[in-house]
Amino acid sequence: MQVVKNRGGEIWVVLFLWLMIVGTTAQAKVFKVGETVFVAYPSDNIKDDAFIIAKVTSINEENDYIISVIEYVEGHDYGLSCVPMVKKSAPNSEVSPYDEAWDVWKDTTVLEKELVYLVSAKEVMSLSEGKHLFIERNNLYIVFGRWKSDAPMLTADRLEQAEHEAVSARIEILIPALQLAKQHRRSFYDELHRPYLLEQTMVPLSQLLSSIHQLFEQDKELKAAWFRFRKDRKNIVGRHYFLIEAIDKIVEDASEQLYEEGLEKVSPKLIQDFKSKLNFLQE
C-alpha cells in the first residue's frame, strides 16, 4: 500500500484503520437466539479438551452469549470462564446472577442443565466448525500417541503432515514435539521405511540429542521443566507438555541403543559423544 503524505494524512490513516477494524468485526460470526452453538475450551495437552453444545437463550450488552446446556464434556473446570445464571434472573432481572447460582453449582467441572450460563463470544463457534476442530485435535493426539507407541506404519511423512494440521487445529505448541518425533523416526527408518541397523541409527540419533540440547539453549523454561520432570516424574502441564513427552521417549530409546547388539561396530568416539549428550539429559 502506498501512502501519500499531506496535511490531512493522519485523518486518512485513522479512517483506514477504522475501516479495517469495522471490516474485521463484520466478518465475526454472530449467533441468534435459539441457535445451537459449540462453546470451545481447548487444552494445551488436547486430551483434556472440553466443550459445551448449547442453545443461545439471549445476548447481553457486551455481545456475549447466555446459553442453555444441551451436552458437554465433563472434567474441565468451567468455573473461570462459564458464569452460571439463575433462569429467573437472566437476562433482565434485578436478582444478581451469583445469588443462587453458586449455591447450585458447587462442582465447577460439571454443568447443571437447569441453569443457563454466560460465556464469552470468543469461545463460541458454529456447531459444525467446533466439532470439526475438536475431531482434528483428537486425530493429532492419536498421531502423536502412535509415534510414542512405535506404531510400525506411522511414517515421518505422516508426522510432517501433522505439523501442518496442527496450525488449522489451533495447537501450534504441538509442532516442536512433532518435529522431534519426525527426526526420531528418520533416525530408525530410511526413506523406504525400512529399519536401520544399529550402526546406521547412532549418527542421526546423536544429532537428535543435539537438537534437544539446542532447544534447551533457546528455551530455558523448557530446560527447567525437563529437569523438574526428571526429578519427580509428574505430568507437565502447559505449553511444554508435548515436548516433555517427546524428549522422554527419545531419551529412553537412545538409552536402549547402548545395549543393542552390534554396538561394537560403532565408532568409540561417537559412542563417547553419544553418552555425554545422553548423560546430560538424564541428570
Residue 87's pLDDT is 61
DSSP secondary structure letters along 147-163: HHTT-TT--HHHHHHHH
DSSP for residue 89? G
Beta bridge partners of 55: 36, 68
Residue 81's pLDDT is 86
Strands 82-85 and 124-126: unpaired
**Contacts made by residues 234-237, CB under 8 angstroms, sequence distance 24+:** 237/44, 237/45
Output the pTM of the full model. 0.82
How confident is the model over 17-36, as pLDDT tens digits? 333 433 433 345 799 999 99
Contacts of 39 (CB under 8 A, 6+ apart): 51, 52, 53, 54, 67, 82, 119, 123, 124, 125, 130
Residue 18's pLDDT is 37
Q: Around Cβ 94, how many Cβ atoms within 10 Å?
A: 5
Which residue from 211, 210, 187 is spatially nearest to 200, judged by alpha carbons? Answer: 187
Q: Across all residues in the chain, what is the average pLDDT? A: 85
For residues 80 and 20, give the distance between their C-alpha atoms in angstroms, rounded to a whole number: 32
Q: Is 246 exposed, middle or buried (0-12, 13-18, 19+ CB in 10 A)?
A: buried
For residues 78 and 76, give the distance between their C-alpha atoms in angstroms, rounded to a whole number: 6
Helix (H) or strand (E) holding 189: none
How confident is the model over 241-269, as pLDDT tens digits? 999 999 999 999 999 999 999 999 999 99
- Per cent of the chain over pLDDT 70 is 83
